[in-house]
Amino acid sequence: MNKISVGITGIGSYVPENILTNDDLSRMVDTSHEWIVSRTGIEERRIADKDQATSDLSTIAALKALEDAEMKPEDLDLIIVATATPDYMFPSTAAMVQKNIGAVKAAAFDMSVGCSGFVYGLVTGANFVQTGMYKRVMVIGAEILSSVVDWEDRNTCVLFGDGAGACILEPCDESFGILSSELGSDGVKGDVLIIPGGGSKNPASEETVKNKLHAIRMDGKEVFKFAVRVMEQSSLRVLESAGLAKEDLDFMISHQANSRIIDAAMKKLELNKDKTHVNLTKYGNTSAASVPVALDEAVKGELIKKGDNLLLIAFGAGLSWASVVLKWNKEVRNV
């Protein structure tokens, strides 16, 4: 029995309208535009309204992906939402999206893998399609990280922004779609990127709030070293698994965390800068949303064409990493 090929047939994204610039941040904490840009490449980020939840951003991106795929919500079999900032502990944010878009036939669940979440979700969703269990799977990466940032910690508050991206997976023509993938985790380093409070280890209390345990804590140097290493190693492994060499790669979409990390990966893969799309300058690190938002912009900007060999790669909390090589199967259709 031939393995079912799985490709992306619809894609959409959404970022909030509110812009928080580096100059704005310099009036909140001891930092400057020059300091932030030199270390991260970020100039501004988008911040959700107070009345917006992660499911709201996800819903807008989901509807755009459905429109792009020319598909009705009731045609979906499964919705996966990758997020570190769910609406609630339960029910899942995916269930909220299911309700919002009217996907009455779809199963729904969340994944929590930090910034690696969307690519993890992509691999998971593709496996459901490859087994024949489902035909149409929506994968969403969405975050409202502004809700879990310590706005007095200049080392973290300058990094993060809000957004959502969605795609739809379906069977596609043989030789197109996902060619290879890799998921990984190193739990030994789990404490270098963490929100310590709110779970069963440190349940919410007056003390956890006072000590800001519900905000992101990060050892930036350790995450940087990890990211540079796994971006290179995982990229080469999935290319080899797909039967491709570095020179066969047409385009890369990586997690939008730091311009220096992306530059290092591009150098190792011997890719020119026109072979990737970087949007962290205007959005910052949107965690699980970063890869699908960047992919959507690259596709709608006609930077990727049908038949291109594409690498998607991310790293994040866990510490985790995920990479996918696919042959792009979709014709450009501007919506």
Instruction: Indicate which residues carry an active-site annotation.
Output: 115, 255, 285
**CB of 147 within 8 A of CB of 50?**
no
User: How far apart are alpha carbons 295 and 288 in whole angstroms?
Assistant: 12
Question: Between vectors from CA 69 to CA 282 and to CA 328, what angle results, nearest 5°?
Answer: 70
User: How far apart are alpha carbons 108 and 86 in whole angstroms?
Assistant: 13
How far is C-alpha 16 from the chain's CA centre?
Answer: 16
Among the listed residues 213, 207, 214, 170, the one whose alpha carbon sits nearest the alpha carbon of residue 75: 170
Among the listed residues 329, 121, 324, the one whose alpha carbon sits nearest the alpha carbon of residue 239: 324
User: How far apart are alpha carbons 68 and 335 in whole angstroms?
Assistant: 7
Helices (H), 204-323: 206-210, 220-241, 259-269, 280-283, 290-300
Q: What does the DSSP assignment read for 23-90?
A: HHHHTTSS--HHHHHHHH---EEEE--TT--HHHHHHHHHHHHHHHHT--GGG--EEEEE-SS-SSSS
What is residue 246's DSSP assignment? G
Residue 334 neighbours by CB under 8 Å, 6+ apart: 300
Question: Could you count the other beta carbons within 10 Å of the beta carbon of residue 132?
Answer: 10
How far is C-alpha 115 from the chain's CA centre?
Answer: 6
Residue 193, sorted as left (phi over 0), alpha (psi -120 to 50) or beta, turns out to be beta
As to burial, measured by CB atoms within 10 angstroms (0-12 exposed, 13-18 middle, 19+ buried), residue 210 is: exposed
